[in-house]
Structure 1
Amino acid sequence: MSEPMALAFGERQYSLADLDALAEAMAATLRRRGVGPSSRVAVMSSNRPEFVIALQAIWRLGGAAVLLSPAWKQAEVGHALSLTRPMSAVGDHPALAEAMPMLHLDEPIAPGNCPAGPVDPAADAVLVFSSGTTGMPKAVRHTHASLAAAVRQWRGALGLTPADRLQVMTPPSHILGLLNIVTALDTGAWIRLHPRFDIDTMLRHIEADRITLDMAVAPIALALAAHPGLETHDLSSLRYLMWCATPVTASVADAVTARTGVPWVTAYGASELPVITCNDLSAARLDTVGRAVDGVDIRVVDTETGTPLGAGQDGEIQVRSAAAMAGYLPEDATAEAFSDGWYRTGDIGSCDADGYLRITDRAREMIKVRGFQVAPAEIEAVLHGHPAVEDCAVFGVPAPDGEAIIAAVRVSSPVEPDDLITVVADRLASYKRPRRVVIVDEIPRLPSGKVLRRVLRERAMSACAKSREIR
């Protein structure tokens, strides 16, 4: 009896034994390049089986994978490499190959012997990147123990079993894509990888592969709701759709359910702590992000005093879990992320008497774009480099796919807003490109110098209501 398949990509299918043999061969190649215990290896890859094989090869050697977004450009790659200092690289992206010697994932790998050794649970397994509001992205360190805890929690939250079938279209460098892949394979569920999101491909494979649960960030949900032929596809295999990364847009979720009969579930997590809450699978309350998953403690504290608050009171959401990150790089950013062992999410919300968590605001100033977190300061740093820009501030406003990036700019000489947008597009990933640049007379600030982004956001939304120019 042949071994069941575990992973599909196009017409290719792999069993767990296939993946293990290919990982052993790649590990032998990486070992010859000097990779060993505690080595960091940069991985910049599209969503493909070789990404999974590279991860398993690095872990087989006791190393840690540094996951770089395939959307990044040279400046972003250079920053990540200088922060993490990997000794080797694997991938399929020219930006990484230009920065350091890289084992290309299209290169044939000869079979090799490289038995898996014991894994130190406290050793780093993976470094992902999470933008802070004060500059370029920080590296988030997850150990084998914290990643394993996240996998256990995600499996339990999803009700995942070996009978489930998933597909992944989100980038593997993002914590959601990574967690879905690792959890599915660890559970024994079947998974199909796609190199990119395409709504027709998604619908076709739900039907053909009998997918049992699927993940949707806001753009995917919007594409489902807007698809003219949604009812022509047989989606009866789906147990539910999971809305991830941004708050649920009720009208969009309701429209999809009305047309397909498939319910939605929503969850809440972060790069630093991948699984925090999830809704009940059979009776999700989509106006909340659900309740704490097993093994996670949540408290809401006063933003000024840090005093724990009661049910229904708004404050900062803090979380304690075995899945919490080991820390940041740079290391000096770690201390302020925790309070007495509790991870400070920076999100504002409240828990009701039944433990359901509602998120009402952000204490931090991250902009959520199609499920990605964007730091205003990163875009501002690029704009400040333009000779015509005297001052600037970047903020987000609501948009159908999450938030739209707006840049308010004070200039010393005439410049076309589109030229400033192009400057950012040339330096940073496409999802960090401002939707609009507004030339202003002044940037409102507190006496301390802190930008009043709330004021700018209100002005932009007021202008939007009058002109309908921001879509």
Structure 2
Amino acid sequence: MADTIDALLRDAAHRHATKDAVVEPGTRLTYRELDIQTLELAAAFLDAGINKGCRVGLLMPNGVQWARIAFALTRVGAVLVPLSTLFTPPELSAALRTAAVQHLIAVDEFRGRRYLDDLPPAGDLPALRTVHRTAALPAEGGGAAHRVADVLARTVRPADPLAILFTSGSSGAPKGVRHSHGNAIDAVRSGLAARRVDADTRLYLPMPFFWVGGFAGGLMSALVAGATLVTEAVPEPDSTLRLLTAEGVTLFRGWPDQADALARHRDQAGAAPADLSALKPGSLEALLPEGERSRPGSRARLFGMTESFGPYCGYPADTDMPESAWGSCGKPFDGMTVRVVDPDTGTPVSTGEAGMIQIRGPHVMQGICRRSREEVFTADRYYPTGDLGHLDADKFLFFDGRADDMFKVSGATVYPSEVERALRGLTGVRAAFVTNVAGPAGERVGAAVVCDAPTTVADLRAAARAVLSPFKVPTVWALLDDEDAVPRGATGKVDAARLRAMLLLR
């Protein structure tokens, strides 16, 4: 079984030679072309002094060229360091230092940002040797370099480092997470069936390739499955709808709010005509016909993180779970062991009891930049995720929030995700977002709620009392007309600090 990027590319070129591998508006690359062009580009990198083991930063938007560069580097054993196009100059410098990037490949400009103009002096980035502009990259290396690239690619082993990915956490400095070829590819392979990605899939995923959602869930998933990935540098409602229609996309994955926004735009007067009939169940449901949508909570929410190279827990995306598991994230994938422990003592808790989620298995990262193994893993090699959850008797995993999100009200612990689930179950509530809000007597429960029908805070509070313990019932409310009013960070995640500030004004 292919377990390096080079082996995957050679195998895909043999099995799916003329099939589209990566498509963007105006450009497409078949698997045969991807195999040939990445080896030619790898030879050019060797000529430029980028060899096996070199850490190479890649800073550019989604597209065919991103895929071509990333696979050219990794097939000959260079270590890819995807860099966010959203980084500010200080954030970019910090990432380059954290990963000790030796070679940087970057666009001149994207969405008004000129990244290379703001790089610090060479002395502030002691590991950095060369900077290459994507527009000036050669298409291929010399004949001798091509032969060396071909031989070198075959020496890469599953245990060799593949990439350093930066987390997109909502608080704290991003971490540089190290993955090998073997652990990353196996992690992707373990989740393909749950995501419903196979060789016949035409996948659209708007997540940036520089995050694990885009790199693992998009590029790597397509390569491992032999599927076609459809992408674009700057998703906009009209252009995205045209692209989905033109390319006959069968699977739309990503953040649910992206699909919600796209569906709302599609239904507006004057929107570009769109034919999304090729979409299959397993796609984000806002874009599916009414009759193909599941009942709330019946489908698993794929659950994972950068440290596990994407989802490590799920259930077939087009299949209802047993009713007892509704609202869960599904079950751990093959190869992943999940346990729940007391956050303070590290002792495993009883079935159904909430605690800290820890994971162990061959799909988990190799480590984190600038941290020792002892700092990252427990003595028995589990990784403490910082997520809270519980396992039921059938081993379905329920997510109960982040350890740094839980808070206490009058000495009792409140999990925001538990309150959110309860509020979403109330009649007329479409979405709910919960956090702690400071008050004169201590922490209070605050909720921003989006409703489908007119209602009042008094009505919502009364309904919430029927399903929540008194201390969990929100005392600070914001009734919103639309989810777009919820403050979010650059990753699309809810910005808890801004949500608290918004609630304090109510």
TM-score, normalisation: structure 1: 0.73
Which sits farther off after the overlay, 232-241 or 209-218?
Answer: 232-241
Q: Which of 306, 322, 342 in structure 2 is aligned with 1:271?
A: 306
Q: Which of 201, 216, 224 in structure 1 is aligned with 2:239?
A: 201
Deviations 1:237-279 (A, max 9, x none): 2223456xxxxxxxxx6x6656473456520010001221113
Alignment partner, residue 119 of structure 1:
156
TM-aligned CA deviation for residue 22 of structure 1: 1.9
Relative distance call for 1:341 and 1:31 in structure 2 (3 A) is: same
- Quick check: 1:42 aligned with 2:42? no
- Quick check: 1:73 aligned with 2:113? no
Q: Which of 337, 341, 357 in structure 2 is aligned with 1:301?
A: 341
- 1:357-436 alignment, distance < 5 Å: 357-365=397-405, 400=483, 404=487
Relative distance call for 1:364 and 1:350 in structure 2 (3 A) is: same
The residue identity in structure 2 corresponding to 1:271 is T
User: Aligned-pair RMSD on alpha carbons?
Assistant: 3.4
Relative distance call for 1:4 and 1:221 in structure 2 (3 A) is: closer
- 1:310-349 alignment, distance < 5 Å: 310-332=350-372, 335-338=375-378, 340-349=380-389
Checking the alignment, whether the CA contact within 8 Å between 2:266 and 2:274 is kept in structure 1 is no
TM-aligned CA deviation for residue 340 of structure 1: 1.7
Which sits farther off after the overlay, 228-237 or 113-122?
Answer: 228-237
Alignment partner, residue 176 of structure 1:
213
Output the CA distance in 2 between the equivalents of 1:132 and 1:70: 16
Relative distance call for 1:268 and 1:433 in structure 2 (3 A) is: closer
Alignment partner, residue 417 of structure 1:
none
Relative distance call for 1:346 and 1:16 in structure 2 (3 A) is: same
Larger RCO (CA under 8 A, 6+ residues apart): 1
Checking the alignment, whether the CA contact within 8 Å between 2:63 and 2:232 is kept in structure 1 is yes
Deviations 1:334-357 (A, max 9, x none): 624545211211111111122221
Which sits farther off after the overlay, 5-14 or 325-334?
Answer: 325-334
Relative distance call for 1:280 and 1:339 in structure 2 (3 A) is: farther
Deviations 1:79-138 (A, max 9, x none): 011111221111215314653643222225243323123212222100011266884222
Alignment partner, residue 106 of structure 1:
135
The residue identity in structure 1 corresponding to 2:203 is L
Output the CA distance in 1 between the equivalents of 2:293 and 2:240: 15
Task: Give 5+ residue unaligned stretches, structure 1.
Answer: 244-252, 369-395, 407-428, 438-455
Relative distance call for 1:214 and 1:38 in structure 2 (3 A) is: same
Checking the alignment, whether the CA contact within 8 Å between 1:328 and 1:334 is kept in structure 2 is no
Q: Which of 257, 281, 292 in structure 2 is aligned with 1:261?
A: 292
Task: Give 5+ residue unaligned stretches, structure 2.
Answer: 1-15, 109-113, 120-127, 407-415, 418-445, 450-482
TM-aligned CA deviation for residue 222 of structure 1: 3.0
SS in 2 for 1:240: coil
Alignment partner, residue 463 of structure 1:
504
- Quick check: 1:23 aligned with 2:38? yes
Relative distance call for 1:461 and 1:71 in structure 2 (3 A) is: closer
- Quick check: 1:281 aligned with 2:317? yes
Output the CA distance in 1 between the equivalents of 2:368 and 2:394: 33
Alignment partner, residue 162 of structure 1:
199
Which sits farther off after the overlay, 92-101 or 170-179?
Answer: 92-101
Identity of matched residues, %: 27
Relative distance call for 1:326 and 1:281 in structure 2 (3 A) is: same
Output the CA distance in 2 between the equivalents of 1:184 and 1:259: 28
Relative distance call for 1:110 and 1:307 in structure 2 (3 A) is: closer
TM-score, normalisation: structure 2: 0.68
The residue identity in structure 2 corresponding to 1:216 is G
The residue identity in structure 1 corresponding to 2:155 is P
Checking the alignment, whether the CA contact within 8 Å between 2:22 and 2:30 is kept in structure 1 is yes
Output the CA distance in 2 between the equivalents of 1:128 and 1:282: 29
Alignment partner, residue 122 of structure 2:
none
Output the CA distance in 1 between the equivalents of 2:338 and 2:80: 29
Deviations 1:55-75 (A, max 9, x none): 111113211011110111210
Checking the alignment, whether the CA contact within 8 Å between 1:242 and 1:267 is kept in structure 2 is no
The residue identity in structure 2 corresponding to 1:176 is G
Output the CA distance in 2 between the equivalents of 1:203 and 1:301: 45
Alignment partner, residue 115 of structure 2:
95
- Quick check: 1:130 aligned with 2:167? yes
Alignment partner, residue 186 of structure 2:
149
Output the CA distance in 2 between the equivalents of 1:70 and 1:79: 14
Deviations 1:380-429 (A, max 9, x none): xxxxxxxxxxxxxxxx98683696369xxxxxxxxxxxxxxxxxxxxxx7
SS in 1 for 2:198: coil
Output the CA distance in 2 between the equivalents of 1:352 and 1:433: 27
Relative distance call for 1:405 and 1:54 in structure 2 (3 A) is: closer
Deviations 1:288-310 (A, max 9, x none): 21111122121111222222223
SS in 2 for 1:117: helix
Relative distance call for 1:356 and 1:318 in structure 2 (3 A) is: same
Checking the alignment, whether the CA contact within 8 Å between 1:168 and 1:194 is kept in structure 2 is no
TM-aligned CA deviation for residue 28 of structure 1: 1.9
TM-aligned CA deviation for residue 432 of structure 1: 9.8
Checking the alignment, whether the CA contact within 8 Å between 1:240 and 1:265 is kept in structure 2 is no
Relative distance call for 1:364 and 1:332 in structure 2 (3 A) is: farther
Checking the alignment, whether the CA contact within 8 Å between 1:287 and 1:358 is kept in structure 2 is yes
Output the CA distance in 1 between the equivalents of 2:264 and 2:242: 16
Deviations 1:36-62 (A, max 9, x none): 121100111100111111111111321
Q: Which of 44, 57, 62 in structure 1 is aligned with 2:77?
A: 62
- 1:229-240 alignment, distance < 5 Å: 229=267, 233-240=274-281
The residue identity in structure 2 corresponding to 1:317 is I
Alignment partner, residue 454 of structure 2:
none
Output the CA distance in 1 between the equivalents of 2:53 and 2:312: 28
Output the CA distance in 1 between the equivalents of 2:204 and 2:61: 15
Relative distance call for 1:365 and 1:25 in structure 2 (3 A) is: farther
The residue identity in structure 1 corresponding to 2:351 is A
Relative distance call for 1:202 and 1:181 in structure 2 (3 A) is: same
Higher normalized strand content (fraction of residues): 1
Alignment partner, residue 354 of structure 1:
394
